[in-house]
Amino acid sequence: MKTAIKIKLEPTEKEIAILDSQSRMCNWLYNNLLSTANELRQNYIETQSQDIAKILYSKRGLRNLVPGIKTEHPFLKTVYSSPLKNTALRLTNSIQTYQKSRKGKHKSKNAGWPQFRSWKAGWFSLFYDEPNKGYKIVGNTLELSLGTGLDRKRNTITINMPEAQALKNLHSSNCRIVKQANIFYAVFTVERAIISQKPIEKMIALDPNHKNLAYGVDTQGKAIEIDSPWWLKKYDKRMDELKSKRDRCQRKSQLIFVKDENGNPTGKHYWKASKRYEKYDSTLQKGLAKRREQTKIFCYTVANRLFREYDRVIIGDYTPQGGGITTAMRRAMNNRSLIGRFKSTLSWVGLKSGKSYDEFDEKGTTRSCHACGYSCPEGIAPGIRSWTCPICQTDHLRDENAAINGLQRELRNSPIKLDEKLFSSKVPSSGLVSIIERWAWRVLPSGVFKTPRGQNDGSTISAKKLNRRHGSLLPKNDHLTCDQV
């Protein structure tokens, strides 16, 4: 199994300048090859020449042009061959994606023809695609090979990499140098053995939503409400403040004229932003990087805790689609929703731990009573957090009922046969699962903090009682029957 390990680098100012220079030259090569590709494309449209097609649309056609470009522009020789080669392959991959998209053979149906890249807008990564060729890990440092200088000798730089022990006893097949929010990282692809599938003894079904991250019900009669990251709202507010201050600064402060390698003007120019603009933009990028890392840690913390306690985790197939009545609601449902990332994290953690993960069709799980099967014809409004079935008079918590329905579907349709002893003892109107414990999970820096939310004998308890008794994470909505929805 191939996995990626991302390790932070700590280069000096001189090493940063060298890495930026290498990235700029790869970006220049990309744009140069794209200019050639645009001309070849136009010629192919007019002539339908197969010789042009072999260069433009074959896997290595553009890559074979790189040696000639290096001869014409000697400054490219200061870059190691592997990043230059993969710059061409990167452009070829974009062209082939465009071709497949036009023919309906690619998942992205609207992929367009490649566009010119701005290095200032996005740092061009350096990819060393051969094992231990062009890069070497020596102790807590990463040694990168550069191109040849005027003396025709190979140059190298050695960058401090304090967390190199993460690669101990692992064989890396390639290395990519990236820069995110002014921080450099080395991303290594390594191979790990797949853990054999463990027997399923405990299982939990999760209902994803926006009031919390997910609400789960397991085969032992436990209901778990997983709180969403409450701090994201404050993060977004702070990011908005930084954006507002940055955008009020002067973005076009100084006109810079571009010169070639000999110091002669090329006729090209660009605008440099003011120092104040760059300061706010740098702070904003650091904040976004910190937000990204903390949400990643949040997802992995919850996923690891779930698979530590359960052998199989299933979750509803709901994913936000950009809905929402107000702007604030749309932002909360899309920008601050971690449902998609959480599912990907669950899938990966389950695979590497030898546990199983799957998604279930949650259509109708919210409106259907898990006890008698009655389905509310008009559905359940999002603001209603609890309701009473008009047929069997069973009280339901909205998310808990949906999770129970998902678990029941899995138990009935799954080819995996679970022992009867794994089910909670059945009581009237409880179906395959009866709830005997309720817990709330909140992710803190120290890990997952678990809080009991009351116990009963299998019947449900209203959201109002939970709020009054324990201060539940559930919103304080009135308890309504299905007829009132």
Tell me what the mean pLDDT of segment 88-103 comes to.
Answer: 91
Return phi, psi of residue 63, to 5°: -60, -35
Residue pointed to by tokens 């359940």: 380
Say what angle helices 81-102 and 50-57 make with each other, to 10 degrees: 110
Of the candidates 124, 144, 123, the residue with the CA atom closest to the CA atom of residue 9: 144
Evaluate if residue 422 carries a pLDDT over 70: no
In the chain, % of residues over pLDDT 90: 45
The 10s digit of each residue's pLDDT in 397-406 is 889 899 999 9
Domain residue limits, the chain: 2-191, 203-230+281-484, 236-277
Return phi, psi of residue 99, to 5°: -65, -45
The 10s digit of each residue's pLDDT in 266-291 is 888 888 889 999 999 989 988 988 89
Q: Hey, is 159 helix, strand or coil?
A: strand
Say what angle helices 13-47 and 50-57 make with each other, to 10 degrees: 150
| pLDDT at res. 102 | 84
Question: Distance (Å, rounded) from C-alpha 107 to C-alpha 447?
Answer: 38
| pLDDT at res. 175 | 95
Q: What is the pTM of this model?
A: 0.75
